[in-house]
Amino acid sequence: LPWLRTAGQPSLDAFYNETQAKLFLKFYEQPARIVFNEFMEATWNYVTNITKRNRKNMFQKEVEKSQFMLYFGSRARLFKTDHFQNPDVKRMLSKLQNIDKSALPTEDLQKYNRLLTYMETTYSTAEVCLDEGPCIPLEPDLEEIMATSRDEKELLWAWQRWRDAVGRQIRPVFEHYVQLSNKAAQYNGYKDMGALWRAKYESNTLEEDLKRLFDELQPLYLNLHAYVRRSLFRYYGPEVINLRGPIPAHLLGNMWAQSWDNILDIALPYPKKPPEDVTKIMKNQHWKPEKMFQEANIFITSLGLLPAPSEFWVKSMLEKPADGREVECHASAWKFYRGNDVRIKKCTEVTIEDLLSIFHQMGHIQYYLQFQNLSVIYQEGASPAFEEAVGSVITLSASSHKHLLSRGLLSQQHQDSEEEVNFLLGIALEKIAFIPFSYLVDVFRWKVFDGTITKSIYNQEWWNLRLKYQGLCPPVTRSEEDFDPGAKFHIPASVPYVRYFLSLVLQFQFHEALCRASGHAGPLHRCDIYNSKVAGKMLGDVLKLGSSRPWQEVLKEMTGQSNISAKSFLSYFKPLLHWLVNENVKQGDILGWLDYSCSFEEKSTDKVSFLGMVLEPEQARLGQWVLL
């Protein structure tokens, strides 16, 4: 191209580099699919059959994958993209450069992988042994106790023994994990691993956006917290519950008190009109795990979206194996970079909770199927929150009274206003309770990564955040021998969590847009997009983009808004907020928690460790309050 040469060096370099860059990216595709496929297969084999041999093979494939990513990641850095014309080439090259832990020197990487696998496997194989007799695992046994037992002592036993069995083992390893994580992040050009995780959201206002959303949702949470505390007070009595203090963390129907839907029976607003027990109906109708996945598939294909391919039904692990194999029961959806090879691993129990979580998982599968023709580099969600919101938005329709009725999972025809409050409270116990938990998990980890929370105070800082954001307290004294955050899967598994907080907000924003598109009129909580091809097309168009476009652009195309907003979440629960505010005023309950611990002897009225809010009857009507 002599004539270009005379036109001056930069344009030639730019032209030459851009062409070269396109070839480089083209060449990347095939080997990437092969290397990633082999890595996913080896990891799948391990988590569905935990043996030394499978672990060794997984480590081997992990090293190969990392060498491959290091090769292409470092070469992607060599291109000077500022003169490039094609925005796609620039975006793909920049995504290729973030190679996470693969940037570590092989020695460190192998140590890091051993730490990660030790923590995740410790969690997945941990059991709690009764004094004499059997040892019981988290899924389904301990989770079943936390969900259904109403014996405070038994709940305390399960809560404490799980943390003894897992958290304590993981603590010493976690400290090294933090160091190596930060080292990997620095090799990628980030100050610490928290910064690398946050960069996935392509936003320089992420932390303030999170804070803003959290504050907008605070009135909902504080009113629900006060109401549930009152309900638990009525049930367990004043010895256990302090109406002006935090709630003991073992009484909320969940091992981590992250969602409280399992104690709807205790908190039911109108006990004379109890909702039907869908789990019981499923069991009476002889539902099996496979039928639960087919039910989700039927919903998804009713939208005109893609069905689960035959390989899915053949290769997935839909139930805990009965052959004594050790498996990782924590549910997950998998893609294998080979077209229709997509799978789910889940130790499914026949319950409504598992049915709804299957809708969530099948949302991941649908994303994989929709973006499979994109470059490997774009085969992920527009943001991690988008990935999580897809399945959850479908679940919002699937859990509606209208949908369950149409699927024969409810027999009651009508739903009067009191039954509607009961229904909304059920959804609130899952979604509103989840707000502060899904926010604080990564607030904790970001502070650990950036050094604010040093290893000598991990546990006390965890409980400070649990008190500050959730208004919970540990039911027994904790120490720095314990490591309670390690008792939650995503911490030993090193899976970021703020995606679930953002997904909480996003799923309602999506729900409102999809419901409007499907022609739904009336309250948002009565919407069911089932059978709506229009809503399906709107959703499919988002999924087809993968991460090829910034999520802000994708959100704008779908909902008309380019920023994430809590407005839809608030409007979905508006009827319930009014009911809760009136109920709390009637009971004279305060919002928030003045005391800072469960045990009453440390009762203190002078120390206000958190916003103590007193409702003036007048302001309460407007849902406002006066800071104490």
Ligand X SMILES: CC(=O)N[C@@H](CC(=O)O)C(=O)NC[C@H](CC1(C(=O)N[C@@H](Cc2ccc(O)cc2)C(=O)O)CCCC1)C(=O)O
Q: Is 374 helix (H, G, I), strand (E, B) or coil?
A: coil
Pick between residue 332 and residue 383 the one whose CB is nearest to ligand X.
332
**Per-position x/- string for 205-244, each x denoting binding to ligand X as judged by CB under 6 A, each - no binding:** ----------------------------------------
Region from 136-144, 328-336, 406-414, 470-478 binding ligand X, contact rule CB under 6 A: 328-336
Q: How far is the CB of 486 from ligand X (least distance, A)?
A: 14
* Binds 331: which of Zn ion, ligand X, none (CB < 5-8 Å by kind): ligand X
Cis peptide before 475 (omega within 30 of 0): no
3-state helix, strand, coil in the chain (%, to 5): 65, 5, 35
Spatial neighbors of 461 by CB under 8 A, at least 6 apart, are: 444, 447, 453
In contact, 104 and 112? CB cutoff 8 Å: yes
For ligand X, the closer CB: 357 or 518 = 357
Among residues 182 and 361, whose Cβ is nearest to ligand X?
A: 361
Cα(312)–Cα(438) distance, integer angstroms: 30
Sign of the Cα torsion 525, 530, 533, 538 reads: positive
Question: Does residue 334 interact with ligand X by CB under 6 A?
Answer: yes
Shortest distance (Å) from residue 385 CB to ligand X: 11
Question: How many residues are present in the chain?
Answer: 628
Residue 221 or 334 having the CB closest to ligand X: 334
Q: Which is nearer to Zn ion, 388 or 589 (CB)?
A: 388
Partner from ligand X, Zn ion, none contacting 525, C-beta within 5 to 8 A by type: none
Residue 550 main-chain phi, psi, to 5 deg: -55, 140
Q: How many CB atoms lie within 10 A of CB 584?
A: 23
Number of alpha carbons in the 13 Å side-chain half-sphere of residue 498? 21
- Options 332, 348, 366, 518; binder of ligand X; rule CB under 6 A: 332
Q: How far is the CB of 334 from ligand X (least distance, A)?
A: 5
339-358: contacts with ligand X (CB under 6 A): 357
- Applying CB under 6 A, among 65, 343, 360, 466 the residue interacting with ligand X is 360
Q: Which of 364, 445, 511, 520 binds ligand X (CB under 6 A)?
A: 364
Q: Looking at beta carbons only, is 79 or 177 nearer to ligand X?
A: 177
Separation CA 57–CA 41 (nearest Å): 10
Three-state DSSP state, 243:
coil
Phi, psi of 523 (to 5 degrees): -60, 145
Q: How far is the CB of 387 from ligand X (least distance, A)?
A: 6
Q: How far apart are CA 355 and CA 291, in angstroms?
A: 10
Nearer CB in complex with ligand X: 17/113: 113
| One of 41, 192, 341, 388 touching ligand X (CB under 6 A) | 388
Nearer to Zn ion, 249 or 365 (CB): 365
What's the token pair of residue 503? 């997904």
> Residue 388 Cβ, how far from Zn ion at the closest point, in Å?
5
75, 191, 173, 79: which is closest to 120 by C-alpha? 173
Task: Please report, as residue ranges, which positions from 390 to 419 form the binding site for ligand X (by CB under 6 A).
Answer: 392
Structure token digits, residue 578:
């009014």
Rounded Cα gap, residues 267 and 230, in angstroms: 9
Using Cβ positions, the residue closest to ligand X within the complex turns out to be 332
39 vs 34: CA distance, rounded Å: 9
333, 428, 435, 527: residue in contact with ligand X (rule CB under 6 A): 333
Which letter does DSSP use for residue 591 in this model?
Answer: B
Q: Between 229 and 360, whose beta carbon lies closer to Zn ion? A: 360
Residue 332 interaction partner, one of ligand X, Zn ion, none, beta carbon < 5-8 Å per kind: ligand X
Residue 198 interacting partner from Zn ion, ligand X, none (CB closer than 5 to 8 Å by kind)? none
Query: How does strand 626-627 pair with strand 613-614?
Result: antiparallel
Q: How far is the CB of 40 from ligand X (least distance, A)?
A: 8
Q: Is 200 in the site for ligand X (CB under 6 A)?
A: no
CA 437 → CA 215, 267, 431, 535, distances in Å?
14, 20, 10, 30
Distance of CA 585 to CAs 53, 231, 236, 618, 619, Å? 61, 14, 22, 10, 10
| Residue closer to Zn ion (CB basis): 68 or 497 | 497
Give the residue at shortest CB distance from Zn ion.
388
Name the binder of 399 from ligand X, Zn ion, none, CB < 5-8 A by kind. none
State the Cα–Cα distance between residues 63 and 110, nearest whole angstrom.
Answer: 8
Contact set with Zn ion (CB under 5 A):
388
Residue 113 vs 259, nearer CB to Zn ion? 259
Question: What is the Cα–Cα distance from 227 to 143, expressed in whole angstroms?
Answer: 24
Contact track, ligand X, 43-72, x by CB under 6 A: ------------------------------
Residues contacting 248, CB < 8 A, separation 6+: 240, 241, 472, 473, 474, 475, 598
Q: Is 476 in the site for ligand X (CB under 6 A)?
A: no
Residues of this chain that bind ligand X (CB under 6 A)? 258, 331-334, 357, 360-361, 364, 387-388, 392, 500
